């Protein structure tokens, strides 16, 4: 069967096929237009929600710091001393060695509890880096570098 072409005012086209003589399918330009609109909308949504993700990580890290501080206070009450700087926060997860001894040691936290929301280990300072506190638990923040503006500290949380 030979395909017949009919002349349109705009251009030569294949005969119209489909239900009721309507054109079926979408043109490439229509598809690109729809994909472009979807991309713009997704970009707008992602830009608005990225600030919420940072805020959620900061809040989660503050909560973890509070949990670690409470565990350190329980450790001190049980063993009559805080872990040394060398023993660090690992003393809350596994039995510490060295001084001061922990004769009534028990595990107070899990491994993941001593990490911030960015996956970095929380830091422990005895005495505290800032005055007024005997010890300090802090996170290096999103950049992972201690001593920068994005640090989150137990001195700031309390």
Global pTM reads: 0.66
Q: What is the pLDDT of residues 127-152, one digit of tens each?
A: 777 766 788 888 988 888 888 888 88
Q: What is the pLDDT of residues 29-61, one digit of tens each?
A: 888 899 999 999 988 888 777 667 778 888 899
Task: Report the alpha-carbon distance of residue 82 to residue 72 in Å, rounded.
Answer: 7
Element (H, E) at 45: helix 28-79
Instruction: Identify the architecture of domain 55-158 in CATH.
Output: 2-Layer Sandwich (3.30)
Task: Report the alpha-carbon distance of residue 55 to residue 41 in Å, rounded.
Answer: 23
Which residue ranges make up each domain of the chain? 55-158
């Amino acid at each position: 069967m030979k395909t017949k072409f009919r002349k349109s005012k705009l251009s030569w086209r294949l005969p119209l096929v489909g239900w009721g003589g309507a054109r079926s399918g979408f043109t490439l330009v229509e598809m690109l237009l729809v994909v472009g609109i979807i991309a713009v909308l997704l970009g707008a949504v992602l830009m608005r929600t990225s600030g919420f993700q940072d805020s959620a990580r900061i809040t989660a890290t503050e909560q973890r710091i509070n949990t670690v501080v409470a565990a350190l206070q329980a450790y001190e009450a049980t063993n009559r001393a805080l872990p040394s700087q060398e023993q660090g926060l690992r003393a809350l997860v596994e039995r510490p060695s060295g001084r001061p001894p922990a004769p009534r040691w028990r595990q107070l936290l899990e491994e993941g509890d001593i990490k911030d929301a960015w996956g970095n280990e929380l830091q422990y300072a005895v005495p505290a880096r800032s005055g007024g506190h005997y010890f300090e638990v802090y996170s290096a923040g999103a950049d992972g570098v201690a001593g920068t503006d994005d640090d989150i500290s137990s001195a700031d949380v309390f």
